[in-house]
Amino acid sequence: MNANLCHAPAQHPLKVGILGGGIAGATVALRLADMGIQTLLIEAGSGLVNGPPICHLHAGGNLYRDISDQQCLTLLRQSIASVRAYPHSINRRPTVIATPVSDPGDAEALLPRLAQVAQEYRRLVDEDPANRVLGEPEEYYRCYSREQFEALARQPIPLKADSQDDWLIPLAHHLDPDKLKFPLILVQEYGWSLFRMAATATLALNAAPHCALHFHTRATKLEQRPDGWTIHASQGHGEAQAFKVDFLVNACGFRTGLVDDMAGFRRQRLVEYKAAYVARWQTEADWPEVIFHGQRGTPNGMAQLTPYPNGIFQLHGMTDGITLFKGGLAASGEHSAQPRLPPPYVAQLNNGWQTPDITARTRDAIAHLARLLPAFGEAEVGGKPLFGAQQIPGSDPSLRAADVSFEGNHYARVEIVKASSALTAADRIVARLAELGWLEMDGQPLSPSLALTKGQNATEVEREAIRLARERGYPDELALNMR
């Protein structure tokens, strides 16, 4: 798509300031810079996309039983667009959804939703073949009966998975069918590498002629002007700077409320502190991601096993002792748009984790998976957790599909819950700028593909991802391409 700048009424090029370099701020910057818009990105940390744990696309919302079908379809469309924007960040392996007998849910309850999502995926591919990023539409999901599962257990474990059955064979060898409800569902829910996303954005924005990056820089005051904003900021060494922008994007993640407070805006939101854990388990097989459904917040809460190369796994357990934290869901109050998390969680966010906490929670996560996958009890702590706080606009903690909201003509706040919503937020900001007369559009929808990322080399992205993983103290495997 072509977009011509026509700033009105002033006679200088449009300049957009973005506060926050997480997945939201980085994606908005990529979209705007890709269109030739002068973009200023201010990030308090040392790099881009260094926030809450990300491990899969949520293409269809199949991991959540409590969200609406409409949210699922929105997540599907957003995920497809995200794959096209971050083409070298995907780990192409399926996800198996299992319902333990200890769970009160019906294993067949997801089937109507899966059929609806598969139909929409097929429609999107027919509309644009470039949307075929989740495999073939007719293979989007497959159900396995108990008889089929037990038959797979009698087959040798393949060293490399080349078919849908191959992905399920390791599970069939290690899971007791008496502990499961059937069918099991295999779905093309791919993995998403946080570090290759960060690498993609870092390489692209460092090379973008229309984007200026300011790291180790924190906004201290916002001054609203009739024609935009002045951002007063402090750099790491204490030097003060002032930046004038025509339009301000608040993309500060769980700290979005602090910027709202500086700007003088009120907004109701939730913030939830979460963590995922890194384990090492010696296995030679190709493993799918596995979701064992369970009731959130109970001892049998959902358990999630996310594979990476060389026996590294990322673990979630939806209990208060693992991924969830007691008192870790906070709401904004009457006098501030920023929810207040308990001080121990703020300390972890600011200073990192201590070794005893890492060991205890990771071992609890391993034990949580071993309830259903006994062999996984041999796994060991593989590194420090991936952790962060997730903002949720409004008051519904089950909300998963959200993107952006606006205040007046010069301010937007990006409020994504899932990373796949970031490009939608960016496109809504572009539409808002066009609506305000700053951009002339040609009437065609924006392509999900970005010139800044489309031409990137997969090897170069992986090399930068490994550098970032090491710099942040994580195993190389979290940055490696699985396939």
For residue 442, name the pLDDT band (cuts at 50, 70, 90). Answer: confident
What is the residue-averaged pLDDT of the chain?
92
**Phi–psi pair at 254, nearest 5 degrees:** -70, -10
Classify residue 367 by burial, with Cβ atoms within 10 Å: 0-12, 13-18, 19+.
middle
Structure tokens at 203: 């390489």
- Structural contact between residues 103 and 294, judged by C-beta atoms closer than 8 angstroms: yes
- For 317-370, write each residue's pLDDT tens digit: 999 999 999 999 999 998 999 999 999 999 999 999 999 999 999 999 999 999
Residues in the chain: 483
Buried b vs exposed e over 71-87: b needs ≥16 C-beta within 10 Å? bbbbbbbbbbbbbbbbb
pLDDT at residue 402, rounded to an integer: 60
Cα–Cα distance list, 46 to 142, 213, 214, 218, 278 (Å): 43, 11, 9, 11, 23
pTM for the whole thing?
Answer: 0.93
Query: For position 6, what pLDDT does the model report?
Result: 38
What's the whole-number mean pLDDT along residues 368-374?
96
Q: What are phi and psi of 231, to 5 degrees?
A: -100, 115
At residue 9, the pLDDT reads 39
pLDDT exceeds 70 at position 314: yes
Residue 390: its pLDDT value, please? 87
Res 176: pLDDT:
97
DSSP 56: B
Among 244, 216, 206, 292, residue whose Cα is nearest residue 50: 216
Q: What is the pLDDT of residues 385-413, one digit of tens each?
A: 999 998 888 877 765 566 799 999 999 99
% of the chain with per-residue pLDDT over 70: 95
Q: What does the angle CA 397 – CA 201 – CA 478 come to, to the nearest 5 degrees?
A: 70
Q: Is the pLDDT of residue 246 over 60?
A: yes
Q: What is the DSSP letter of 283?
A: -
Q: Is the link from the previous residue into 183 a cis peptide, with omega within 30 of 0?
A: yes
pLDDT digits (tens, 9 = 90+) for 123-163: 999 999 999 999 999 999 999 999 999 999 999 999 899 99
The residue-averaged pLDDT of 412-439 equals 92
Estimate the share of the chain in helix, then strand, then coil, as percent rounded to the nearest 5: 35, 25, 40
Give Cβ neighbours of residue 94 (< 8 Å, ≥ 6 apart). 164, 167, 186, 187, 188, 189, 190, 288, 289
Considering the chain, what percentage of its residues have pLDDT values greater than 90? 82
- Confidence category of residue 65, pLDDT binned at 50, 70, 90: confident
> Could you tell me the pLDDT band of residue 115, with boundaries at 50, 70 and 90?
very high
Average pLDDT over residues 243-264: 96
Q: Grade residue 10 by pLDDT with cuts at 50, 70 and 90.
A: very low
Alpha-carbon gap, residue 266 to 332, rounded angstroms: 9
Closest by Cα among 131, 118, 117, 22 to 67: 117
Question: At 26, is the secondary structure helix, strand, or coil?
Answer: helix
178 exposure class (CB count in 10 Å sphere: 0-12, 13-18, 19+): exposed
Asked whether the predicted pLDDT for residue 1 surpasses 60, the reply is no
- The edge-to-edge listing of strands for the beta sheet with 211-214 is 211-214, 38-42, 15-19, 247-250, 411-414, 404-407
Q: Is the peptide bond before 156 cis (omega within 30 degrees of 0)?
A: no
